[in-house]
Chains A and B, each alone.
Chain A
Amino acid sequence: MNEHMKRPFNKDILVITDLETECNQIISMLRHNVTERLHRFGAVVGISGGIDSSLTLALATRAFGPERVLGIMLPEKDSSNESAILAQKLADKFGIQAITENITGALEGFGCYSRRDEAVKRVFPEYDPATYKMKIGVKSSGLYTNLPPLFSLTIVDSKGNESSRRLPAAEFKQIEASSNFKQRCRMSMLYYHAERLHYAVIGTPNKHEVEQGFFVKYGDGGADVMPIGHLYKDQVYQLARYLDVPQEIIDRTPTTDTYTAEQTQEEFFYQMPFRQMDLLWYAFEKGYEPDEVAPVMELTPEQVKSVFVNFERKQRTTEYLRLAPIRE
Chain B
Amino acid sequence: MTIDKTLIERKVVEYIGKNTHIDLQMLTPQTLLFKEGIFDSMAFVLLIDFIEETFGIKPGDEDLVEENFESIDSITRYIGKKTEIDVT
Contact = CB atoms under 8 A, between A and B. Distances in A.
Interface in A141-187: 141-142, 145-151, 166-170, 172
A264 interface: no
Contacts of B45: 150-151, 167-169, 172
What 10 A-B pairs are tightest by C-beta distance, nearest first?
A148-B41, A317-B40, A169-B45, A146-B34, A169-B46, A146-B35, A148-B44, A145-B66, A168-B49, A169-B49
Contacts of A316: 37, 40
B26 interface: no
B66 A169 contact: no
A146 B66 contact: yes
A148 B35 CA distance: 10
A180 B48 CA distance: 24
Nearest to A316: B37
Contacts of B66: 145-147
Interface string B70-88: 1000000000000000000
A147 B64 CA distance: 8
Interface of A: 139, 141-142, 145-151, 166-170, 172, 309, 313, 316-317
B3 interface: no
Contacts of B42: 169, 317
A147 B65 contact: yes
B49 A145 contact: no
A312 B40 CA distance: 11
Give chain B's interface secondary structure class: helix
B61 A141 contact: yes
Interface in B1-60: 32, 34-35, 37, 39-42, 44-46, 48-49, 52
Interface residues of B, number: 20
A170 B69 CA distance: 21
B40 A313 contact: yes
Contacts of A317: 40-42
Given A145-B66, A168-B48, A316-B40, 14 more contacts: A139-B61, A139-B64, A146-B32, A147-B65, A147-B66, A147-B70, A148-B40, A150-B44, A150-B45, A166-B48, A167-B45, A169-B42, A169-B49, A313-B37
Contact of A145 (B32, B52, B65): B65
Contacts of B69: 147
A309 B41 contact: no
Nearest to B43: A148
Contact of A150 (B39, B40, B64, B70): B64
Nearest to A148: B41
A176 B70 CA distance: 27
Contacts of B52: 168
A148 B61 contact: no
17 contacts: A139-B64, A146-B34, A146-B35, A147-B44, A148-B41, A150-B41, A150-B44, A150-B45, A150-B48, A151-B45, A166-B48, A168-B45, A169-B45, A170-B49, A313-B37, A317-B41, A317-B42
Between A141, A146, A147, the greatest number of chain B beta carbons within 10 A of the residue's beta carbon is seen for: A147
Nearest to B68: A147
Contacts of B64: 139, 141-142, 147, 150
Given A142-B64, A148-B40, A149-B41, A309 B35 contact: yes
A172 B34 CA distance: 20
Contacts of B61: 139, 141
